[in-house]
Amino acid sequence: DQQVKQNSPSLSVQEGRISILNCDYTNSMFDYFLWYKKYPAEGPTFLISISSIKDKNEDGRFTVFLNKSAKHLSLHIVPSQPGDSAVYFCAASEGSGTYKYIFGTGTRLKVLA
Amino acid sequence: KAGVTQTPRYLIKTRGQQVTLSCSPISGHRSVSWYQQTPGQGLQFLFEYFSETQRNKGNFPGRFSGRQFSNSRSEMNVSTLELGDSALYLCASSPPSIGGANGYTFGSGTRLTVV
């Protein structure tokens, strides 16, 4: 039973364009969400987070949008750069203080130069 | 400063054997979490230790166990290995002042292959 779903296993985008990565969840108790980026042979690195009291959080080229009614969040990368090519995981939890996170299966983003 | 160190990086074991993986967190980090990554399942939470106590546990069978030492180093053990245990095992540490996975620093993982 996958509580956090990333239905697109891969995505290709031209350099300079917008990348939109999507994530859906089923547990209405989730109230804290994160995105992680993973390069091959490295551990995931934290990218950006959002709590359920917000519907948008922005950090430089990265913006996360949360639609609670649809149980959907998305990560926008603008403009996309070749160095953004990686696997992106979304994760969710009940509260920001917990250490137990449910991760999605990941989306492999390829930014074409 | 040194990151999260996981050893060994690669491991090949036979079905039925047991294995121990090690994780040294960043100095000062007292929370250590373990995740299993497989292609079809993403990252799945195994357990989290803080001050030598297991605080959170995922939905894995009892063959998966862990412990944490007084210096915050952690080990996880898998007994009676099955082919399906082949995965990348990731350890993450977090400082006490930052709650949750936004404070995680992941190690590079141990790639376990069961044959």
If you average pLDDT over residues A68-86, what whole number do you get? 97
| Number of neighbours of residue B91 by Cβ within 10 angstroms | 29
Residue type, B27: S
What pLDDT, on the 0 to 100 scale, is given for residue A82? 96
Residue B30's CB is within 10 A of a number of other CB atoms, namely 15
Q: What is the mean pLDDT of residues A67-94?
A: 95
- Decide if A6 and B33 are in contact by the 8 Å CB cutoff: no
Under the banding of pLDDT at 50, 70 and 90, the label for residue B97 is: low
B58: nearest CA in chain A? A100
Residues in chain B: 115
* Residue-level pLDDT at B39: 78
A50/A98: higher pLDDT? A50
Interface list for A 7-66 with B (CB within 8 A):
32, 34, 36, 41-46, 49
CB contact under 8 A, B101 and A43: no
Instruction: Report yes or no: A100 at the B interface, CB cutoff 8 Å.
Output: yes
Residue B99 has pLDDT above 90, yes or no: no
Nearest CA in chain A to B104: A46
* Token digits of residue A68: 């609670």
- Average per-residue pLDDT for chain A: 93
Confidence category of residue A97, pLDDT binned at 50, 70, 90: low
Can you give the pLDDT at residue B48?
92
The verdict on B92 touching A (C-beta cutoff 8 Å) is yes
Residue whose structure tokens are 């803080």: B50
Answer yes or no: do B55 and A103 touch at CB < 8 A. no
The reply to whether residue B42 touches residue A45, judged by beta carbons under 8 angstroms, is: no
| CA–CA dist B76, B69 (Å, integer) | 12
Q: Give Cβ neighbours of residue A69 (< 8 Å, ≥ 6 apart).
A: none
CB–CB of A73/A50 below 8 Å? yes
Q: Mean of the per-residue pLDDT values for chain B?
A: 91
Residue among A4, A89, A99 whose CB faces B100 most closely: A99
Q: Does B100 have pLDDT greater than 60?
A: no
How much is the average pLDDT of A54-68? Answer: 96
What is the pLDDT, as a whole number, of residue B56?
A: 87
User: Contact B44/A103, CB-based, under 8 Å?
Assistant: yes
Q: What pLDDT, on the 0 to 100 scale, is given for residue B87?
A: 96
User: CB-based contact (8 Å) between B48 and chain A?
Assistant: yes
